[in-house]
Chain A
């Protein structure tokens, strides 16, 4: 399954809830303010492990718009909107955490 998260971990608990519940085959795509959670910060241990497994993506346009490209947690994969579409196609059901 594909899980999209569109709010920062400093604003909502949606990323934490998502990580607590997803199975081993699921991937996470951070979009909109959700990309804030892709930066190295006091919450980033939450996603570091998943990122090392290659299961965390972030929407490149939203990362660049917020000027955080150089601060990303290691091994987060950047995708454009076409990549977003591919993730939806590849991973079956998509769940939006808002």
Chain B
């Protein structure tokens, strides 16, 4: 079955990102396809490649990256909402140069795109499960 996930909460904020990750891992293990994970609202903070949790703690960003959720064209299907990301200072290389900012922080396993990607995930998937506050 094709399942997509929406995450509305940042890492280490409460529990949503952890629950969503465990859910995604269990779904993949059962042979389901995670079509897309859409990071919305504060959930965009899950895509920062600058997080440095203590060594004995889980690294939520890397956990997501290591799941390797990609489409047939090898593009990441960990999708970050562009409007939510930009207003929180989450930028990829292209958005940084477009806005004249001297750095970027989106992890390469994620990509920035628009809300249309969430709608498309809802249409293309058999199930859409939302996690967040």
User: Across the interface, do B29 and A32 meet the contact criterion of CB distance under 8 Å?
Assistant: no
User: Across the interface, do A84 and B23 meet the contact criterion of CB distance under 8 Å?
Assistant: yes
**Residue B123 at the chain A interface, CB threshold 8 Å:** no
Residue of B nearest to A94 (CB): B129
Give every chain A residue within 8 A of B32 (Cβ-Cβ).
Answer: 85, 89
Interface size, chain B (Cβ < 8 Å): 22
What separation, in Å, do the CA atoms of A81 and B30 have in the docked complex? Answer: 11
What secondary structure prevails in chain B residues at the interface with A?
Answer: mixed
Distance in Å from the Cβ of A86 to the closest Cβ of chain B?
Answer: 8
Distance in Å from the Cβ of B21 to the closest Cβ of chain A?
Answer: 10
With A85-B26, A89-B1: A32-B16 Cβ-Cβ less than 8 Å: yes
Give every chain B residue within 8 A of A89 (Cβ-Cβ).
Answer: 1, 32, 127
Q: Which of A33, A82, A88 contacts B129 (CB 8 A)?
A: A88
User: Across the interface, do A85 and B27 meet the contact criterion of CB distance under 8 Å?
Assistant: yes
Instruction: Beyond the given A81-B23, A81-B25, please list 9 additional residue pairs across the A-B interface where CB-CB is below 8 A.
Output: A32-B15, A61-B22, A81-B22, A85-B3, A85-B26, A85-B27, A88-B129, A92-B127, A94-B128
